[in-house]
Amino acid sequence: MDKRTTEREAVAELRDGMTIGIGGWGSRRKPMSIVREILRSPVKDLTVVTYGGPDVGLLCNYGKVKKLIYGFVSLDSIPLEPHFRKARQAGAIEAAELDEGMLQWGLLAASHKLPFLPTRSGMGSSVLDINPDFKMVKSPYADGEELVAMPALDLDVAFIHMNRGDVRGNGQYLGPDPYFDDMYCRAAKKRFMTVEKVVDTAAMANEGPLQSRIINRTMVDGVIEAPNGAHFTECPSDYGRDEAFQKEYAATAKDPDAWEAFRAKYLDVETEADYQEAVKNR
């Protein structure tokens, strides 16, 4: 079954108020071509679940986010995403700040179709104070230990980016870390995967070991070939992070005029191809 589609067709599946998951980690292997297509769409009031990076800053800046559920929001070489910081400090979004392990456990619970999973993550910290709706659960076994009942993070739609994929929806990463992209896919009702390159299934064996093929065709509804689609985040081994571009983006958080110029040049364009051309010619 050929599952190839486009960013525009994938984002057309979104409706106001949906809960979406965005894979990757900080400023690493983010499905940025999808994020840019969301910016061009009319959708709003999204709940976004992510280990956040520039995906969060851009979506907040465009008024797309109602609620953010996150373990962190970082640009990696810049510790805190400045556009997220601005939105958070202004109270422009609802925020559910979690321990990183709690976010993982919430995705895992959703992927197993469970209402929650018990965890020690978050205990002994202020995470439970700032998330008063979270409950504790007592172990039914002899020790009776009290644990955090991390609720499932059920997603309407998940978006991930891989290095390679085939037309059927198998996906492969070639960098050092799979992150939790497979969990996002299993936790969602619909799943879309952008890839640097669509290849024959057999060719994936020449790219990396079997363990690198963490996404299988049952986990994906649409495949989008998006060369440089993770820009300006890194996507090793295909390319590193565009630090100069990221620095330019981050600096606009303190300068409204610079933000408007940046937005007009790179973001308020009609297509992803226009974005890539603007980046190439900068």
- Give the pLDDT confidence of 71-117 residue by residue, as tens digits: 999 999 999 999 999 999 999 999 999 999 999 999 999 999 999 99
Q: Kindly state the average pLDDT of the residues 259-269.
A: 98
At 37, the pLDDT band (50, 70, 90 cuts) reads: very high
- The CA-to-CA distance between both ends of the chain, in Å, stands at 39
> What number is the average pLDDT over the span 137-157?
96
Q: Residues 22-28: what's their mean pLDDT? A: 98
Asked whether residue 220 carries a pLDDT value surpassing 90, the answer given is yes
> Mind listing the domains of the chain with CATH numbers?
7-110+154-280 (3.40.1080.10), 115-151 (no CATH)
| pLDDT of res. 233 | 98
Mean pLDDT value of segment 11-23: 98
pLDDT greater than 90 at residue 183: yes
Length of the chain (residues): 282
Return all residues near 109 (Cβ < 8 A) that are at least 6 apart. Answer: 115, 116, 117, 150, 151, 152, 153
Average pLDDT, the chain: 97
So what's the pLDDT on residue 65?
Answer: 98
Asked whether the predicted pLDDT for residue 185 surpasses 90, the reply is yes
14-18 mean pLDDT: 98
pTM here? 0.97
Is a pLDDT exceeding 90 seen at residue 190?
A: yes
Can you give the pLDDT at residue 157?
98
Mean of the pLDDT values across residues 184-188?
98
pLDDT band (50, 70, 90) for residue 276: very high
pLDDT of residue 142: 86
What pLDDT is recorded for position 108? 98
Mean pLDDT over 12-23 rounds to 98
What is the SS3 assignment for the chain? CCCECCHHHHHCCCCCCCEEEECCECCECCCHHHHHHHHHCCCCCEEEEEEECHHHHHHHHCCCEEEEEEEEECCCCCCCCHHHHHHHHCCCCEEEECCHHHHHHHHHHHHCCCCEEEECCCCCCCHHHHCCCCEEEECCCCCCCEEEEEECCCEEEEEEEEEEECCCCCEECCCCCCCCHHHHHHHEEEEEEEEEEECCHHHHHHHCCHHHCCECHHHCCEEEECCCCCCCCEECCCECCCHHHHHHHHHHHHCHHHHHHHHHHHHCCCCHHHHHHHHHCC
What is the pLDDT at residue 234?
Answer: 98
List beta partners, residue 197: 164
What is the rounded average pLDDT of the residues 150-154?
98
